[in-house]
Structure 1
């Protein structure tokens, strides 16, 4: 692979914007991720069955998917900063309701409400990234923004568990609320409006705008790539802790060590992958990450009982493969839509991502079984095979996206905007 020598440096404001988007991602991801380690406490505190807990987890994904579709038609008609603040405010209110819930039904309702707002934030953030940063900057931007996932494991989950053990399961949600308020105020005070796309709009009807985004065949390729990427990523997640405890023999006290080390590895690796994604062919980097992920998943899902250090090392290598897929594929996907459709495209894309993740989690529950509460999970290796098939299908879809982007005419951003504006006015 020949390196790209045209990488562009960031301005001071762009660096600030990257930090704000990464912090937004951190709080949204942490709000979703913290439920998994709190599962045992929640089921005992609120007298929930495993199926009810599964409904609490998946309800967020499905409500986030629904809100993404509903918001798609309006996503390109407003200042992206105002949209970001609107949905982030709703996310804060929903998370606060989670922290104040005292029954299963209250928590379920709060998770649905939080998903309606939180599920759109990632799409708006990607639209902002695409508007503000050039294609040969986005790999590095994604490398930092996606660190929210790793940071939630390194900082969020251990701290959340500590708060839960000390002050109860409500405490982690309250912690997220206070942090999110500070981040939201900083966005309000320091982020500049993002409005270039507004003058390019041709569809006065938001639902017509949504339909045009969904019906675009080029966009459909990107949607399918994202769906398969999500299926491959979400299927193993819900049963990760149960597999480590019941099959590998890791204790509950050792779980934070696994999360911590995997998260640290991701924090170190993701900026490196982001830089590589800007210097080398993104699809080739994605293919390399996919190959590593397939090999590690096949090994990981068929492990016998092994020492903790071996589990940690295998997890770290597997995360390198997973991150080697997410960053270049996301950078490629954001290059698909034209400026006038970016908000709608990102919203639909995010919606499909959430729904695919929820469906993947439900399908995983149909594949994996457990004979009794403390018994080992069965058919986890079959789940690994299914995930590998999804990765291969995703590889083909991302290849099509890559070819599409390479064949896309290139022009300076100012020229592209002028041409789009002229087309909109004609």
Structure 2
């Protein structure tokens, strides 16, 4: 495996920390800036929304720029956003810092995802994507607990000081360790968007949206779910999150390897079926702690196992527009996170928090249907895409 792929994993880890680290220190931010907890929560909302919207747009706008140069520029903007965050004197400035980091971070993550498979042989493509995904899932393991630890010791700005230092090191590393990566030949926007008329592509993106929605319906409210159904103390909840994160990191790597060995479509179906079954089974595991922890780790692994397989699937489906497809897949994932959090909130308010894994499982079942529809159209998809392209040219 090309060593540069592992460096891209580190960059993705740093970017992922900014998105996730703030959730554990919202109360500290609210107290320091004299705002409500709800207003502090908007700092997460705006980040996720921009992350979902910005990556495909920025990828198209920067399609002709050499990738190492573009990565350095994006890292500098990301650095500025973190410096603004660290020195924020009020909520408005902090909000601005989040917008800057979200916009540059969205482009950086998708750059890592599209560069990684281009640096390795075709047979290692899935594994390369999986390694980059491990960087994001790795930030899941360390982001929240590290933010809590540093925030409680030194204040809410301390985690962002650490990220600022890591960003500077990333800039140095990219400059000295990364070779130039030429952009792929430009594909007209109309031709790229035309691929969405293909059922294979559109159902693939729908699959990403639905399975991440199902995952988030429970994960966004995992702490209160654990407290209400298991009675675990707060010290144990930290252990639960850590175990989930470890499993998620492993899942990203396993998913890439499975996609290379078994094929992307088979890996996607296996992972979705497993994810649906484990979410539907979780309510029956809560009376027995050991069984619940095992189920939780299987859930964590499967939730991140699908992503690298889906990225490989989209590359195989539409190689000429693979960059934009990966970017749209990333957007679908973040929209799923946002929508899942909303659905979970409605379930808690209108019914019971104990129903969140069941409702999440139903969304996974829907994603299984869309995945099947996408895979079934495999034999005719490329011909269909070509007809669309020919119509546009005419």
TM-score normalized with structure 1 length: 0.79
1:250 is paired with a residue of what secondary structure? coil
**Residue 293 (1) aligns with residue 275 (2):** yes
**Residue 383 (1) aligns with residue 356 (2):** yes
Q: Spell out, residue by residue over 1:5-38, the C-alpha distance to the aligned partner (whole angstroms, 9 max, x if none).
A: xxxxx3xxx2x21111111121121111112222
Residue in structure 1 matched with residue 333 of structure 2 by the alignment: 353
| Alpha-carbon contact 1:22-1:146 (below 8 Å) kept | yes
Task: Give the structure with the larger helix fraction.
Answer: 2
How far off its partner does 1:322 sit? 1.8
> How many residue pairs were aligned?
382
Residue in structure 2 matched with residue 333 of structure 1 by the alignment: 314
CA distance in 2 between counterparts of 1:142 and 1:96 reads 30
| Alpha-carbon contact 2:207-2:371 (below 8 Å) kept | yes
Residue in structure 2 matched with residue 237 of structure 1 by the alignment: 219
CA distance in 1 between counterparts of 2:328 and 2:310 reads 16
Residue in structure 2 matched with residue 344 of structure 1 by the alignment: 324
Unaligned runs of 5+ in 1: 1-9, 371-377, 410-426
Q: Spell out, residue by residue over 1:98-141, the C-alpha distance to the aligned partner (whole angstroms, 9 max, x if none).
A: 23334333333322222112122222222213433344212222
Q: 2:368 aligns with which of 361, 379, 395?
A: 395
Cα-Cα RMSD? 2.9
| Alpha-carbon contact 2:249-2:304 (below 8 Å) kept | no
Unaligned runs of 5+ in 2: 383-394
Matches for 1:27-426 after TM superposition, within 5 Å: 27-195=14-182, 197-198=184-185, 201=186, 203=188, 208=190, 211-212=193-194, 214=196, 218-301=200-283, 304=286, 307=289, 309=290, 311-339=292-320, 341-369=321-349, 379-403=352-376
CA distance in 2 between counterparts of 1:251 and 1:332 reads 42
Compared CA separation, residues 132 and 66, structure 1 to 2 (3 A):
same
CA distance in 2 between counterparts of 1:105 and 1:246 reads 36
| Alpha-carbon contact 1:223-1:352 (below 8 Å) kept | yes
CA distance in 2 between counterparts of 1:273 and 1:345 reads 19
2:318 is paired with a residue of what secondary structure? coil
1:76 is paired with a residue of what secondary structure? coil
Where does structure 1 differ by over 6 angstroms across 4 or more consecutive aligned residues?
Answer: 406-409
TM-score normalized with structure 2 length: 0.84
CA distance in 1 between counterparts of 2:62 and 2:376 reads 27
